[in-house]
Structure 1
Amino acid sequence: MKKMLRLLALYAATALTAPAHAQSVAFTFDDGPRLEETPLLSPQQRNQSLLDALAAHKVSAALFVTCGFGADKPAGYALAQAWGRAGHAIGNHTMTHLDLNSTDVTLAQYQQEITDCDRITSTLPGYQKWFRFTFLREGKTPEKLQGMRTFLQQTGYRNGYVSLDTSDWRLDEKLNEVLRANPKADLTPIRQAYLSHLRQRADAYRAMSRQLVGRDIPQVLLLHHNLINALWLKDAIQQFKDMGWTIITPAEAFADPIYQQPPEQQRGGQSLLWSIARSKNQRKFPGWERLVDDGDFEIDALKAQGL
């Protein structure tokens, strides 16, 4: 725990600062809509809670649909439809969330998953020709990497890059675990960990963008269609506003030049900024340990509190 606190203090001491109004962020969500059951909220309630939070803050977001998680069924299709009708963009995130980096997954198989999902997403309001790689992994071999770039170009798909990566999914797993063990558990520590995690990642990736490209880029935030965001997305958006960040649409963010040219070297499973850093042979930044720990810092802190 002391080591984590020292790392946090080191990051806070080295993070850069700039006029608050310079930074913008777009909200995007992966893996929805899910029809699986969770504590507290039904699939319909989770979906509506996310939409209500976005509406309350007048945020136009994007949902990258993993069609096999629910949109291929009438009940899930209706949930995805609600996003488009509310003015949010709809993107493609494959049928079953395969990992392209796996040796068991072929390039043809992965491309077929995109095509099959497109048959569903293309019928939804808000449909965009945007594709986001599952696990943010674009293939470990030159064949897969170049094969996918060619495929996306030929099919007219934009790569739905992420610059502000988070491990909200890890905290969501902890949230569900705690609630299943005790439906009346005090969730305040998890909420605080979630908001703190988002702020730390936002500050760190902002500092990274300045070091790499010399400016504040419009950040594309990755969150997930899950319970933790259904409960506290409204608070998360307010936190970004309180930090002085401007909320923009995903389309506005993707229009920035940084999202137009694929980096020479890909770092699978991480922010686009990490891939740019790899291409420039810059591998470590202040606080970099916290960006690649998949939420270990927050999980360990919650365990220390008995959760």
Structure 2
Amino acid sequence: MRLHRLLLLIILQSLAKQVFAQKQIAITIDDLPTVSRIMNTDALRAELTDQLLGHLKQHKVQATGYVIGEKLVKDGKIIPAQYGLLRKWLKAGHSLGNHTFGHLGINDISAAAYEADVLGADTLLRGFLHREGAELKYFRHPYLHRGNTAEKRDSLEIILAKHKYIQAPVTVDNDEYLFAAAFDKAMGSKNQSLPDSISKTYVKYMMDYVHYYESQADSLFHRPIPHILLIHANLLNSKALGLFLSRLKEDGYQFVTLQKALEDPCYLTEDRYIGKRGISWIHRWAITKDKKGAFFKGEPAVPKFISDLTQ
């Protein structure tokens, strides 16, 4: 009897260790409805959106998308087609959050102007989401800026708490926007193999970044944490996101919601970082814990041919 109990205890401990070691990641997507200088008609924006949603559906991902308010209006009037794209996200089971009206960073404007920008998007989104049976509760900081002075940092906290927003951190930050700009340019070139080359390079780069922050999180917390990834609703991801999600699954990652990821106590870690740069929360926590230069080494670099294409 005691042997059976001992065996059961060993099995339970083993299962708990496996669950604890499960790698998890939440997918968050900024700049909705879409961001692309090429996909610039209602039909093309709908095509881009359908492709993004197709990748997410195939891999059973429940994402959170962050909406820029000014993309929903023109000359003071709402754009029905843009709201139609947001309905597609909601009907597919995804959540939507506030990314401000004009995508202004708090480092560059007053706290009062920032609050007005937050409320500009809030006005366009809250009633719409309520009518669609959804809730507006998450906020994503433009440029990941949280204040370059203590006063602005504290003002931001007060503003978002006042309007009952949950701040959406990012652990896996990256320079995906450079790949997106290169991809847009390549799609308009005569080199038919270039877009595919950029896509494959992008996926490898993103996996390198996931592993980079994975290692840093292990150093900070001595265990895996559920990561939060930042990407954008661009043409590049409409083509390459499926491959990227496949690579994450092959690497052992389970896709979780933002809400689930935020349940981990690591997201209660103190952040005292004040500066101009918008950086990963991993680095914010590391700076707060007084980590030095060696901790930050090994960050993946954007390949030169990608940088050259953005010139």
State the TM-score, normalized to the length of structure 2. Answer: 0.83
RMSD of aligned alpha carbons: 2.5
2:197 is the alignment partner of 1:197:
no
Q: Is the Cα contact below 8 Å between 1:35 and 1:70 reproduced in 2?
A: no
The alpha-carbon deviation at position 118 of structure 1 amounts to: 0.9
Larger radius of gyration: 2
1:82-161 counterparts in 2 under 5 A? Answer: 82-102=88-108, 105-122=109-126, 123-124=128-129, 125=132, 126-161=134-169
1:273 is matched with 282
Counterpart CA distance in 1 for 2:144 and 2:205 is 19
Post-superposition Cα deviations, 1:207-256, rounded to whole Å, max 9, x if no partner, equal 00011122111000000010110111111111100001111111101121
The one-letter amino acid paired with 2:228 is V
User: Which residue of 48, 53, 75 corresponds with 2:55?
Assistant: 53
Shift of residue 287 of structure 1? 6.5
Distance 1:109 1:23 in 2: 40
2:83 corresponding residue in structure 1 = 77
1:1-307 correspondence to structure 2 within 5 Å = 22-34=22-34, 37-38=37-38, 42-70=44-72, 72-102=78-108, 105-122=109-126, 123-124=128-129, 125=132, 126-182=134-190, 184-266=192-274, 268-285=277-294, 288-290=297-299, 297-302=301-306
Give distance in 1, aligned partners of 2:124 and 2:270. Answer: 27
Quote how far apart the aligned CAs of 1:70 are. 3.6
For 2:4, the equivalent position in structure 1 comes to none
1:139, distance to aligned residue in structure 2 (A): 1.3
Letter in 2 for 1:273: I
Give 2:266's aligned amino acid: I
What's the offset of the Cα at 1:96?
1.1
CA change 1:33–1:144 in 2 (3 A) is: same
Deviation at 1:289, TM superposition (A): 4.9
1:257 Cα offset (Å): 1.6
Give identity over the alignment, percent. 24
| Gap regions ≥5 residues in structure 1 | 1-17, 292-296
Residue segments in structure 2 that go unaligned for 5+ positions in a row: 1-16
The count of residues paired between Structure 1 and Structure 2 equals 282
The alpha carbon displacement at 1:180 in A equals 2.3
Mapped contact 2:101–2:120 kept (Cα < 8 A)? yes
Contact 1:92/1:118 (CA < 8 Å) preserved in 2? yes
TM-score (structure 1 length as normaliser): 0.84
Shift of 1:266: 4.0
